[in-house]
Chain A
């Protein structure tokens, strides 16, 4: 039974899958990103409290949302890899880790840039930013663990175990950081926007979140394809595929 699945997730099959999906996913991503950015940055109304500085949410919020989702994608791939030993899942997990970390870094940096005009400081120990920072370390841990192993099949399995442990822990970490924040910081610097965001600001934001999801998928697929090409640089199927197209 698993032989069939293993065949299904074989490197040539995955490579061709990436080749098929990327050409139509890429244009969608670019269009969505362009439309979302122009809409958010130029046409959405100005915030009455924060002025134009709030517009960074069109980068910050999508990056943060996709960063968290990316960890769960990785964990799901890890589960599939552990249970069914599908090579595709190994590669997907490995490809998703650095991209997820990059998204987390973008969310942190844009958060700091946003913090300066809003709170008057580059870094504030806000619950969300702190959670994001911990998420960043979780990503870095997975990447470091993968790099530490010589045997990449073992590395994939180790990372699968780690991401699953992380998945169980992330909600606990988020909850506990929220709790910690609410105890130490009276709710004086609370955000106005998010709960009562105006639809004219919300729609471009939703579009940008969708665009970032697509961008995540495209970059992961590109990364997977590059990974496969490097791992199988001597394989005959790869030469045939490259020369055939």
Chain B
């Protein structure tokens, strides 16, 4: 009798996180390209706006956040594509773990390779745009939380569009409007820190966003994946 052993959810999540991290290590360009994109676009701004450090540092919070948003969009576009194509996604749906939990390891791996990495190197980009080093902790903290919410929301859009032709542009159309509050809170935190104000309100709002996103987004992601599997 070949009965399946009981599934330990934690063990399952650990093995799936490892799987996705392993795949990322095998194709490092998927990790590095969004970072390079981030750097490249940041370089474009001084070229377009002029090298005046004061003007740049005034615009820096907005530039950093808009670019972080776009590089996050690039990551979301790739999120479930391969897994749908090679059948991994339907196997994930067959796992005896609620799908809303089963999708989380992939998101965790993606966030470690994108959001976490981007947040940690962001002070360098900030310096290039004339941000003082003192605001670096706020920049890192706001990006850490902001990228997490963006990934959770983006994954909803990715799950809904992964099965359709030319889903990339559609994905941007679906999720960019939803990113508006994150953009506002993130730039607000930075601006407060720059002007010597108190960034904690904006950071707390981002934290609330992460909590709410972790509670609700997985349900929507699971529903979206199920729809995409029907096609």
Contact = CB atoms under 8 A, between A and B. Distances in A.
Are the chains A and B members of one assembly? yes
A158 interface: yes
Contacts of B167: 148
B230 interface: yes
A175 B181 CA distance: 8
B224 A176 contact: no
B181 A176 contact: yes
A166 B177 CA distance: 9
Interface in B204-231: 216, 220, 223-224, 227-228, 230-231
A194 interface: no
Interface string B146-160: 000000010010001
Given A144-B170, A169-B178, A179-B184, A161 B231 contact: no
A172 to B, nearest CB: 5
Given A158-B160, A165-B220, A149 B177 contact: no
B161 A145 contact: yes
A154 B228 CA distance: 8
Contacts of B188: 179-180, 183
Given A138-B177, A154-B230, A161 B156 contact: yes
Nearest to A157: B227
Given A138-B177, A145-B160, A151 B231 contact: yes
A140 interface: yes
B185 interface: yes
B176 interface: yes
B180 interface: yes
Contacts of A166: 178
Given A154-B227, A154-B231, A183-B188, A168 B181 contact: no
Interface string A150-168: 1101100110011011101
A145 B174 contact: yes
Contact of B173 (A144, A149, A164, A177): A144
B220 A161 contact: yes
A151 B229 CA distance: 12
A140 B167 CA distance: 15
Contacts of B49: none
Interface residues on A, range: 20 to 34
A149 B176 contact: no
Contacts of B164: 148-149
A158 B216 CA distance: 16
A82 interface: yes
Contacts of B216: 168
B177 A141 contact: yes
B176 A137 contact: yes
B27 interface: no
B91 interface: no
A183 B220 CA distance: 33
A169 B156 CA distance: 13
Given A168-B216, A180-B188, A161 B161 contact: no
A202 to B, nearest CB: 32
Interface string A170-191: 0011011101100100000000
A137 B173 contact: yes
Contact of A176 (B153, B163, B184, B231): B184
B165 interface: yes
A43 B188 CA distance: 46
A141 to B, nearest CB: 4
Contacts of A158: 160, 224, 227-228
Nearest to A151: B231
Interface string A122-141: 00000000000010011011
Contacts of B180: 134, 173, 176-177
A151 B228 CA distance: 10
Interface of A: 82, 134, 137-138, 140-141, 144-145, 148-151, 153-154, 157-158, 161-162, 164-166, 168-169, 172-173, 175-177, 179-180, 183
27 contacts: A134-B177, A144-B170, A144-B174, A145-B161, A145-B174, A148-B161, A148-B164, A148-B170, A149-B231, A150-B231, A151-B230, A158-B228, A161-B160, A161-B220, A161-B224, A165-B153, A165-B156, A165-B220, A166-B178, A169-B178, A173-B178, A175-B181, A176-B185, A179-B184, A180-B184, A180-B188, A183-B188
7 A-B pairs with least C-beta separation: A176-B181, A148-B164, A137-B177, A141-B174, A180-B184, A176-B184, A158-B227
